[in-house]
Structure 1
């Protein structure tokens, strides 16, 4: 269950969203919204109100040897009810 969440996504845009109760995570591409909800609730002991997901397209990346491809990945935006917070996003 905990292998669903790969890492939290920390950026300027996501820090503005966290003030509104939305938190962003990179998740396994095969994970469903229900899997993400259960994993977040278990890992951070919070109640999840809503989960939205999107598959982010892989892009080309230039290297010394030539061009390589970055894989597709899945992003999940998790909405928490008012008053709930995830501690790892605080102070970022």
Structure 2
């Protein structure tokens, strides 16, 4: 049982906060960068376990690696998977600390 909870904690990496995703929060949708191999059921279980909320919908998209150039060196940024989670209307996730 402990191993399952550890795996759920490793699925969600960090919240994605941009202008577009802050507009999503008004519609009760939240964006997270997740493990590249995670599927929708794992993502739903991880969000419900971490934040104690009820998820109604999960949309995912794989973001391809982008090339970056620093001087004469060319490299690639890491690829990642983005999950857009829609919560039930009575639940909220507080991503920002209100002082």
What TM-score do you get using the length of structure 2 for normalisation?
0.86
Indicate yes or no: 2:13 matched with 1:6.
yes
Q: Which residue of 2 aligns with 1:44?
A: 51
Query: Deviation at 1:78?
Result: 0.2
The root-mean-square deviation of aligned C-alpha atoms, in Å, is: 1.3
Structure 1 runs of 4+ aligned residues shifted over 4 Å read none
State how far apart, in whole Å, the 2-side matches of 1:90 and 1:27 are: 22
Q: Which residue of 2 aligns with 1:83?
A: 90
Gaps of 5+ in 2: 1-7
State how far apart, in whole Å, the 1-side matches of 2:60 and 2:97 are: 22
Gaps of 5+ in 1: none
Indicate yes or no: 2:66 matched with 1:55.
no
Query: Deviation at 1:62?
Result: 1.0
Indicate yes or no: 2:36 matched with 1:29.
yes
Q: Which residue of 2 aligns with 1:20?
A: 27
Q: Deviations over 1:22-74 (max 9, x none)?
A: 10000000000001000000000000000000000110011135110112110
Larger RCO (CA under 8 A, 6+ residues apart): 1
What SS does the corresponding residue of 2:95 show, helix, strand or coil?
helix
Larger radius of gyration: 2
